Structure 1
């Protein structure tokens, strides 16, 4: 089953890891998709707000990410760009540690898990590495995140993927709706709208 058209907007409620909410808006472009989002949260006694704009091409390869953050640490901004060969620049500077990554993964966002799922289009039983440029919520530091997605059997109206990010000791099953957006990310977020 391939994905249906995206809704104009979606929202997630954060769970156990933090208290908060994420809202996104999808804008179709002639050469891809623009995603505007905002997350507010309280985590370990610290409040933060992360706003973002992502652009992906028709194949769901990330092209650009602009991220801003406000917390007790102050206000920060960062910009990530990637070329068609998978070479990244962070704030205009080459970032070779990210080369080969095709997705951006925002710590503040459940939505960004949709990027590799759409891009990979895995068949049931298939598994793929999906390293990503991982952006931290409060300080916007950027690091490489090695992760894998393995498509498990579907259930009515849902695609299921076994997701692993060993550096965070995460190994769980994610459920996605017919548009390819996360419905349930155990312990992190659930779709609210």
Structure 2
């Protein structure tokens, strides 16, 4: 993997590092750590087509006394979702005063049929996928794209369809919106997140 990016979380104690190759679409593997709602570590592997449509994402999340995995694979216009689980995440959440997590994966993959992108919650890398796939860098400002993504929620790895809107704001900036939430994200020349207000900032080597 010829490139490495590191982000520090700004919404909670945590970080993300990803190793990637974007010479022909994107191949990436990364690690996220966070303490909210309980301490957890997640590892992922991501593969796209040459035009940046996601074909496979594998995520493993782990904390004290539990481990979950989910794999999403897209072929012939449909998503296949498989899961595995060890231990009891819900017991850890309840013991820390939080509500239970949803089951990993989804009971109806057809709900994800319109999704060409996967979004892993808390990961700035995954915002790059629609930016590249939609070729937003070549567009004029204020062009809005309404898309559906397969949203993987951490740490429980529940997968749900989510509607998102990406709007270019000029070179190096895009507005992300989902429901009532909006954020103006700063990007580098390659379309990777430099600053995501309220979530993360990139840390570059000195």
Give the TM-score normalised by the residue count of structure 2.
0.81
What is residue 9 of structure 2 aligned with on the other side? 14
- 1:127 aligned onto 2:144: yes
Taking only aligned residues, the RMSD between alpha carbons, in angstroms, comes to 2.0
Where has structure 1 moved over 3 Å in runs of 4 or more? Answer: none
Name the CA shift for 1:82/1:94 in 2 (closer, same or farther; >3 Å): farther
Equivalent in the alignment of 1:3? none
2:74 aligned with 1:82:
yes
Change (3 A) 1:179 1:74: same
User: Within the alignment, does 1:107 sit opposite 2:118 as a pair?
Assistant: no
Residue 33 of structure 1: CA displacement?
2.6
Quote the Cα distance in structure 2 between the aligned partners of 1:82 and 1:192. Answer: 32
CA positional deviation for 1:108: 3.3
Please show how residues 173-184 of structure 1 align to structure 2 within 5 Å: 173-184=184-195
* Structure 1 SS opposite 2:190: coil
Contact 1:73 1:138 (8 Å CA) reproduced = no
Contact 1:131 1:144 in 2 (8 A): yes
- From 42, 46, 49, the counterpart of 1:57: 49
Partner of 2:30: 37
Q: Unmatched 5+ residue regions in structure 1?
A: 1-5
Q: 1:153 to 1:36 in 2, by over 3 A?
A: same
How far apart, CA to CA, are the structure 2 residues paired with 1:24 and 1:106? 13
Query: Which consecutive unaligned segments of at least 5 residues does structure 2 have?
Result: 84-106
Structure 1-normalised TM-score?
0.86
Distance 1:7 1:151 in 2: 28
> 2:175 is matched with which residue: 162, 172, 176?
162
Q: Which has the larger radius of gyration?
A: 2
Q: In 2, Cα distance between the equivalents of 1:191 and 1:170?
A: 21
- Partner SS state of residue 178, structure 1: coil
Number of equivalenced pairs: 178
SS in 2 for 1:139: coil
